[in-house]
Amino acid sequence: MKVVISGYGRMGHMVEAALEAKGIECAGASEDIAAFDKAIASESVCIDFTTPDAFRANYKALADNFKAVVIGTTGWNDIKDEVIGYFESKGTPMIYSSNYSVGVNVLSAAVGLVSKYLAQAGGYAPYIVEKHHIHKLDAPSGTAKSLAAVVEENMGVNPDTASVRVGELAGIHTVGFEGLNDRITLTHEAFSRKGFAEGAVLAAQMTEGLSGVHEFKELFFKESAK
């Protein structure tokens, strides 16, 4: 298995280290993935951690040229149907997620369970607070939007979301449910970006023999249930 990294910033370097730790070949890294060697691309999985603008400009090249693609970039939800449709039309396997941390995906499952029960009980108002480093471009974070979607699906309410950008925080997400008599909070705190990189590499391994477009959490919980 070969992997090419699209975007060679902080996350790109962490993905490279995660690949090395697992003994997976890194066939290259590029800030201009559309210009990457097409022969190498055709036999490689691309892991994309770039910017929303870069991904919007490059997603067709990713689908056109690579064996499979793992998307870690967020901030493109408004063109999600267009992106998924293009990958499907090209027959290029794609895995996407707002967050590849195993812990965050377990948090999402817990939020789903809690919000479902509280919707039945009634009387609780949901909210989300997300905190990230000052370099993060999108706000709210893609993870916060995904968590909000889980809550809205179960409770019929889009939770108020607050975003904080400070220091070098890797990411803290808190989902709260405020009642008249009590409060329930669920929090995930990333100590570094290492967990995101390791999850993305796990997703790249999942593309072996995969077809179609999938969200990482669906594949993760499917594997965990085996």
Which of 2, 90, 116, 136 is labelled catalytic?
Answer: 136
Question: Which CA distances in Å does 100 have to 68, 71, 127?
Answer: 17, 10, 22
pLDDT at 225: 54
Burial of 225 (0-12, 13-18, 19+ CB in 10 A): exposed
**Which residues of the chain carry a pLDDT beneath 70?**
223-226
pLDDT in tens, 174-192: 999 999 999 999 999 999 9
Say yes or no: 36 and 93 in one domain: yes
pLDDT at 138: 86
pLDDT at 175: 98
pLDDT at 222: 78
Query: Residue 180: which CATH number?
Result: 3.30.360.10
Please tell me the distance from the alpha carbon of residue 207 to that of residue 143, in angstroms, as a whole number: 22
Which of 132, 173, 214, 217 is labelled catalytic?
Answer: 132
pLDDT in tens, 129-152: 999 999 888 899 989 999 999 999
Tokens standing for residue 219: 């594949």
Say yes or no: 122 and 182 in one domain: yes
Tokens standing for residue 130: 């997300």
pLDDT at 75: 86
pLDDT in tens, 5-25: 999 988 999 999 999 999 999
Say yes or no: 28 and 52 in one domain: yes
Query: Residue 29: which CATH number?
Result: 3.40.50.720
Please indicate whether residue 136 is annotated as part of the active site: yes
Tokens standing for residue 223: 């594997």
Cβ-count burial 20-52 (b if 16+ within 10 Å, e if not): eeeebebbbbbeebeebeeeebeebbbbbbbbb
Say yes or no: 163 and 217 in one domain: no
Please tell me the distance from the alpha carbon of residue 3 to that of residue 127, in angstroms, as a whole number: 38
Please tell me the distance from the alpha carbon of residue 91 to that of residue 77, in angstroms, as a whole number: 21
Domain count, the chain: 2
pLDDT at 224: 59
Please tell me the distance from the alpha carbon of residue 171 to that of residue 53, in angstroms, as a whole number: 21
Residue 88's φ and ψ, nearest 5 degrees, are -65, -40
Please tell me the distance from the alpha carbon of residue 47 to that of residue 204, in angstroms, as a whole number: 7
Domain containing residue 211? 2-100+194-224
Please indicate whether residue 222 is annotated as part of the active site: no
Say yes or no: 48 and 152 in one domain: no
pLDDT at 137: 82
23 DSSP 8-state letter:
T
Please tell me the distance from the alpha carbon of residue 145 to that of residue 164, in angstroms, as a whole number: 14
